[in-house]
Amino acid sequence: MNKSELIDAIAESAELTKVDAGRALDGFISAVTKALSGGDSVALVGFGTYAVKERAERKGRNPQTGAEITIKSAKIPSFKAGKSLKDAVN
């Protein structure tokens, strides 16, 4: 499912216009992005939790030369599915 198909599904289930559903989805994405960039997590009970995790510095290899390189530590967004979502998938 891509973004436009998701907007169509939201519009149908919430009885909104596609424009309003698009704005709602964009607002959700913006709010989650802002919370994660501020160091917060977003928990949607039953659905899942969006959070930021720290990835430690590690060693890697340059695929072209085979030389060992150091990959810097980084913050990465993550999603952990909630029980209701896991149950719905299984």
- Span 16-75, pLDDT tens digits: 999 999 999 999 999 999 999 999 999 999 999 999 999 999 999 999 999 999 999 999
| Angle, alpha carbons 3-25-55 (nearest 5°) | 80
For residues 70 and 88, state if they share a domain. yes
Q: Name the strand (E) or helix (H) holding 5.
A: helix 3-14
Q: What is the pTM of this model?
A: 0.80
User: What's the pLDDT at 4?
Assistant: 95
What is the total count of domains within the chain?
2
For residues 33 and 46, state if they share a domain. no
For residues 13 and 49, state if they share a domain. no
Nearest to 55 by CA among 78, 34, 86, 84: 78
For residues 13 and 52, state if they share a domain. no
For residues 45 and 89, state if they share a domain. yes
Which range marks the domain in which residue 14 is found?
A: 1-39
For residues 51 and 17, state if they share a domain. no
For residues 83 and 49, state if they share a domain. yes
